[in-house]
Structure 1
Amino acid sequence: MTGKVAVVTGASRGAGAGIARALGEKGYTVYVTGRTVVEGAAPLPGTVGATAEAVTAAGGKGIPVAIDHRDDAAVKALFERIERDEGRLDILVNNVAAIHDELIAKGAFWELSLELVDIIDIGLRSGYVASYYAAPLLVRTGGGLIVFTSSFGSACFMHGPAYGAQKAGVDKLAADMAVDLKDHGIAAVSIWMGMLRTERSAKAAQERPDQYEKLLRNAETPEFTGRLIAALHADPDRLELTGQTLIGAELAERYGVTEEGGRKPPSYRKALGDPRIPHPAIVR
């Protein structure tokens, strides 16, 4: 065990679950948050308890926390618990988001469910709130890291305006939080993940094989992003990257991280766009 502590939000399944498992491989104690506690209660498989068990099996210590990230008081209580029980926090991964079943449905935004907008509240606002309560503990611990999971949808049209606004928003949260955190030695970054092999993409491939079968051939495992986060946290020069939006596949080149068998997921920079470069001006 490393003695280091991480929080991964929205980790019942998908990207969050894979990131948590990868941090478990590196010996982290990982607080796994999510709403699903009973298998079958959600349309897709996965629970916070199952992810926590997988973290422990991987070599770390998984702690499941059933939490709705719309509840600010519950989020505050989470970090109070971590301070009481662990006395430190090293990594916060802001991954939670509300993904509606119609996210990849065809149609203009006004023709789809209004609930698609929930990704902005549970995904953008919740990342701010979790970071707000995590920051004092990260500062006291020192050498920490805040990561927002994002995608190329920040730069190009992908899944509609609500999805794009959330991804662009978390990129900006990382950039601006980095300004306040840098003097405390805490890095904040946003990582653009590629197409992921998750429970959701597997379902989409079954429903739309013509669209997803080819994409999934080069897809990333969610563990890939978790290993990048661990490598970034271990990098003594991580503050060189603070405030940036990073393409995961390109960050992997810096740290020599690959998928199983040495496979290197491709960067989609040329096809889907460049990350935003923050302007150096600071106006208080």
Structure 2
Amino acid sequence: MAGELHGKVALVAGATRGAGRGIAVELGAAGATVYATGRSTRAQRSDYDRPETIEDTAELVTRAGGTGIAVRVDHTDPDQVRDLVRRVESEQGRLDVLVNDLGGEHLMDWGKPIWEHDLGKGLARLRVGIEAHMITAHFALALLSRRPGGLVVELTDGTAEVHEQYYRSDCGAFFDVAKTAMHRLARAEGEELRPFGGTAVSLTPGWLRSEMMLDHFGVTEENWRESTTAPEGFGVSESPAYVGRAVVALATDPDVARWNTQSLSSGYLAKVYGFTDVDGSQPDAWRYLQEVEWVGGSGSPDDYR
């Protein structure tokens, strides 16, 4: 898909690391101009206190073949988001793809019921995971909707089907509410963009080998299979490039409107479009969880790659 997005402009909100960085880089590899936003810069770390920066992401985008532009933005601040979109409009005159990957996993009290979860952290999680998405959509969709063919991707964790059937108590209520809200937000955006020729979807990666996850298990992208602490299910994990390739497949599909308002996963789209992860496989973590891990079924992670 190299060059297929030449002349197109994307905004990846939350592109510092993880899925956001993977998506930004793959959009760049397809030729897009990508505005990579976040709060971690070389001059100042965010409260994640991680080494990854938006400048790093922008350089990776450019190195991949696109044009990366790093902009420090706190997406919970409407003024900063308004100014960002005005800058995109001034510099590019268009917006073709919006990816909302604003999370806040550092704000979680994992495994705690709502009455034991730190309330301040939980409410902050909702502010980043829901309110910031809506603030960004409010300003960005006014520009994106001016041209037919615009695409909005709301990143989440789990498909609508998974959220309907299972409650992940290890994640808790604040996480669950934030992630399930993305399906309804994509539905609303899709319905409102439909008259303007736009498409909106919610999209989930599987078990993502983000920088934070690799650090957690003491491995790198080069030796992740050698972890001695990761559970068996980690064998069906995927690199951030995989969900990035899912977004590129959607953005380059002339019939992308067929997906409007739907809930999608990287593993499912890989089968539809034929793209692979960096190792040539097509991992489908959600099928593995639903058919094996969560129900005690037979099969190994390698059966779902």
- The reply to whether TM is greater than 0.5 is yes
Instruction: Give the CA deviation at 1:102.
Output: 4.1
Corresponding residue number in structure 2 for 1:84: 90
213 and 39 in structure 1: CA distance in 2 versus 1, 3 angstrom threshold: farther
Unaligned runs of 5+ in 2: 220-226, 292-305
1:32 aligned partner, one-letter code: A
Correspondence for 1:18 among 5, 15, 22: 22
**Does residue 1:233 correspond to 2:251, yes or no?**
yes
Correspondence for 2:113 among 108, 111, 117: 108
TM-score normalized by the length of structure 1: 0.89
State how far apart, in whole Å, the 2-side matches of 1:27 and 1:266 are: 27
Instruction: Give the CA deviation at 1:238.
Output: 0.9
Instruction: Give the CA deviation at 1:235.
Output: 1.0
Number of residues of Structure 1 aligned to a counterpart in Structure 2: 271
1:83 aligned partner, one-letter code: E
* Cα deviations by residue, 1:235-257 (Å, 9 ceiling, x for unpaired): 11111110001122111111101
Unaligned runs of 5+ in 1: 274-284
Instruction: Give the CA deviation at 1:266.
Output: 1.6
3-state secondary structure, aligned to 2:268: helix
Contact 1:18 1:226 in 2 (8 A): yes
Correspondence for 2:153 among 141, 147, 155: 147
Contact 1:39 1:47 in 2 (8 A): no
State how far apart, in whole Å, the 1-side matches of 2:57 and 2:254 are: 29
**Does residue 1:6 correspond to 2:18, yes or no?**
no
Correspondence for 1:166 among 171, 175, 178: 178
**Does residue 1:96 correspond to 2:107, yes or no?**
no
State how far apart, in whole Å, the 2-side matches of 1:167 and 1:107 are: 17
Once superposed, what is the RMSD of the aligned Cα atoms?
A: 2.1
Contact 2:113 2:173 in 1 (8 A): no
Contact 2:156 2:182 in 1 (8 A): yes
Give the % identical residues.
35
Contact 2:204 2:266 in 1 (8 A): yes
Instruction: Give the CA deviation at 1:45.
Output: 2.4
Contact 1:149 1:190 in 2 (8 A): yes
State how far apart, in whole Å, the 1-side matches of 2:78 and 2:245 are: 29
3-state secondary structure, aligned to 1:62: strand
Contact 1:189 1:246 in 2 (8 A): yes
**Does residue 1:224 correspond to 2:242, yes or no?**
yes
**Does residue 1:72 correspond to 2:78, yes or no?**
yes
